[in-house]
Amino acid sequence: MARDDDSGLRDEFLAEAQEIVEALSRDLLVLDQAEKEGTTSAEQINDLFRSVHTLKGIAGMFGHPTIGAIAHSLEDLLDQLRLEKVALTAEVLDVLFEGVEHFQRLLQSEEESEAGIDLDAFAQRIGQSLGVQDGGATEDPLRALDLEEAMLSVLTEYEEHRLRANVEQGVTIFRVGLRLPLLSIDESLESLKEKLRSLAEIITYLPSMDGGDAEHIELVVLIASTSDKEVLEAAIPFEGTRVEEVKRRDGGPMSLGPVEEPQTTDLTDLIAAAEAAPSSLTHAPPSAAQLSGANQADPLSVRSVSNTVRVEIDKLDHLMNVVGELAIIRSAIFRISERFRSESAMRELSIELHRINRGFERNLLELQNGILDVRMVPLGQVFDKLARIVRQAAREHGKEVRLVVSGKDTEVDKLIVEELSDPLMHIIRNAIDHGIEPPKQRDMAGKKPTGTLALSAYQRGKHVVIEVEDDGGGIDHEAILRVGIERGVITRDAAAELSREEIYNLIFTAGFSTKSSVSDLSGRGVGMDVVKTNIARLGGIIDVDSEPGIGTKFTITLPVTLAMISALLVRVAGREFAIPITSVREALVFEESEIRMVEAREMLTLRGSSLPLCRLREFFGIADAPPPERQFVVVAEIGSRRVGFLVDELDGQQDIVIKSFGPSLQKVKGFAGATDLGDQRVALVIDVPSLVEESGMQMDRARLRAGGGV
């Protein structure tokens, strides 16, 4: 992007433009699906046109000529689609998608010249879609109309566009003079729109130069209609209405432009023109539509006025840190009040302090929940981007793929949404490249030629579950073992002891791939290991389930937020640890004698089910003293996996802010970070997903050894 002297203005442009481009991408994917199903509508194309037009306007205002030029050319193409002069084909959709991709690259580039876009080639594809041959420019129809220059100068770009389009098609333009009572202007304009709905297109409402009086307003309404003047006069329900046909200044025919073949301008010329034009907006007088709240005259708004503001995530992080510090203070106050309570002379003061702390706690909780709620955004922001990747990957591999999405409104922390894009993108690309078969192969297998890729999300307690499921060929676990042995990822002896789940998990090993050829999308042995690493960094786990010939499902389980969490404080061998409460199902006391061995694993029978155990003092290497006879088991659950953590003591529940380790400690296994408990105590935060996963692997290996094979 071109550097702006005012970085605030540039940030404002980027934020607004990104919203418009995301809306464009969503609407274009809807249109693409509708084209395949034969259910396209004019409204779908109108939505795209409005977004492109708005983007062109703000690009001109903020001085981004390349974006403006591309938007201008797409606007021409979309208008011809609306007028049904160009058919909506796969090739035309490709051009529209290419334009959106250009917008995205330009918004991500520091300088427009660095985006690497071949504007000439894109202009040629636009021209081919329009069926345009080389030709000269034509006279501007608007300047030939017998309309005051002052009136033309206050038209919006869209109003100019519709006026010009009607003139080029030979539709008669009428000027309608109205005198309406101010107190009932809303009802009057609604009545006018209803009466003219089937007779004319309303181009614009403008205040008349005559003004009116204290009780009335004089308006000029430009309309386009194929009906006679008398028919229009009879249809308009107001006394004193004046209807005049707008003629050409020279008395020539109204159809001035080439109707059969729309002309397009070279994109380089458009950019040059945009750079030469003033970057500021000329503010027109308010129209009657603005005075009355009617919006038909300007249908291009892609966003309604809403009670929302953009907030930088750093500001929310700062507020969340403040809340964390307040939580520490609250805990300190509580402990002091408990000490007061033990002194009889201080009992009355303790009760008062406790009451104040309860009020402080309520307000703090309300503040905490409010900030967390602001941080929450729908997963649809990620899902919409992935739909475009599905289309691109399917076309590249010559496959037919139908994307089914559910749970777009499921909300998670903004930081999690931002980090999810890459992992989900890799999973989807691998599903299309490795999983879903080509149409002929699917037909031979008795499947529909079009594969299905299902992307879903739902909330389960304090976690969000995201599933990516395809109906492809499934994972060949024998091929995975063979490649793993060939590449030295695993030995033959170790391979013989792997469970089915552990075999599937080999695909997350760095550099692992069963593809013999390399594509732009996958097969390079890059991606799936990054997926698991990124998911783990977010405090989540990923599971794989597959059936040969039926399909594969990836299940990702993540916490709803990482900003501030409630934790169960526990003690092991005199050391304090924090376990995120979102993963805790229950905690109970037990005796060492209750533990039994099942398939070489320590188990505890809990309500008729076997619960695998994990001794934290042994896992973390702090078994410097024997465990007490009376211990506690904390039952943790992530997704479908459960494990019981053996601890010496329970120290209560507390809200904590997790502080990340420095670079040298980030690879320490089993810990998500540390937290300050407020009274010069620091607790290590247990990484529950990694411990649950490790415990599950140990159990699978034990079961495999006991059973004698895979």
- The label of the residue with tokens 């069963």 reads 514
- Nearest one of 109, 7, 23 to 66, comparing CA atoms: 109
Strands 565-572 and 575-580: antiparallel
The DSSP result for 406-467, as a single string, is: E-TT-EEEHHHHHHHHHHHHHHHHHIIIIISPPHHHHHHTT--SSEEEEEEEEEETTEEEEE
Instruction: Count CB-CB contacts under 10 A for residue 642.
Output: 18
What residues of the chain score a pLDDT lower than 50?
1-4, 133-138, 256-265, 274, 277-307, 517-526, 709-710
Cα–Cα separations (whole angstroms), residue 273 to 68, 72, 152, 584: 10, 12, 20, 63
**Cβ proximity of 379 and 407 under 8 Å:** yes
- Looking only at the bridges linking them, the beta strands covering 584-591 and 630-638 are antiparallel
pLDDT computed for residue 432 by the predictor: 92
Dihedral (C-alpha) 468, 471, 476, 480: value to the nearest 10 degrees? -20
Q: pLDDT of 393-404, one tens digit each?
A: 888 888 989 999
pLDDT of residue 65: 84
Contact 28, 87 (CB under 8 A): no
Please give the Cα distance from 580 to 599 (Å, whole number).
Answer: 29
Cβ atoms within 10 Å, residue 300: 18
What CA–CA distance (Å, rounded) separates 201 from 168? 15
Residue 553: predicted pLDDT: 94
Dist CA 525 CA 702 (whole Å): 30
pLDDT at position 479 is: 86
> Which residue type sits at 392?
Q
The pLDDT of residue 634 = 94
Sequence-ordered list of residues with C-beta below 8 angstroms from that of 168, at least 6 positions apart, any chain: 141, 255, 256, 257, 258, 259
Tokens, residue 467: 């599933």
Q: What pLDDT, on the 0 to 100 scale, is given for residue 427?
A: 92
Sign of the alpha-carbon torsion through 432, 433, 434, 436: positive
Residue 306: per-residue pLDDT: 38
Task: Give CA–CA dist 675/402, Å, rounded.
Answer: 46
> H-helix or E-strand containing 162?
helix 157-168
Return the active site residues: 53, 75, 430
Residue 68: per-residue pLDDT: 85
State the burial class of residue 247 (Cβ atoms within 10 Å of its Cβ: 0-12, 13-18, 19+). middle
CB 562 within 8 Å of CB 413:
yes
Residues 6+ positions from 428 with CB-CB distance below 8 Å: 386, 389, 390, 393, 453, 455, 468
Nearby residues of 130 by Cβ (< 8 Å), 6 or more positions away: 76, 77, 80, 86, 261, 262, 264
First to last CA, the chain: 56
Per-residue confidence (pLDDT) for residue 461, from 0 to 100: 80
Check residue 269 and give its pLDDT. 56
